[in-house]
């Protein structure tokens, strides 16, 4: 349709393409990180309320989200959260 009007289509430079790709990736990473933090908060609240069933199901969900390859700073959470949940099992 643009060729009919005699207009040329504008091509993106590689730098513009990288900017667009980086923004998309940043938004995906931010959403994934938010999902992890929300599920961790739910897990911690279930641990504080001392409900073992909801804590173990929330722990499974947190592990699933962490295993999907999120940021490296979040990987250390697994052992800390599992220790807290296991303390409920012993008491």
Residue that is written with structure tokens 């008491």 in the block = 91
| Contact call for residues 81 and 62 (beta carbons, < 8 A) | yes
The mean pLDDT value for 24-42 works out to 87
**Percentage of the chain surpassing pLDDT 70?**
82
For residue 82, the model assigns a pLDDT of 82
Q: Which of 12-16, 39-43, 76-80, 81-85 has the lowest mean pLDDT?
A: 76-80
């Amino acid at each position: 349709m643009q060729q009919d009007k005699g207009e040329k289509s504008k091509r993106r430079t590689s730098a513009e393409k990288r900017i667009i790709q980086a923004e998309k990736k940043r938004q995906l990473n931010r959403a994934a990180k938010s999902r992890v933090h929300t599920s961790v908060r739910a897990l911690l609240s279930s641990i504080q309320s001392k409900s073992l069933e909801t804590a173990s199901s929330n722990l499974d969900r947190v592990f699933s989200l962490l295993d999907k390859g999120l940021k490296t700073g979040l990987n250390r959470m697994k052992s800390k959260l599992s220790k807290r949940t296991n303390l409920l099992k012993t008491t």
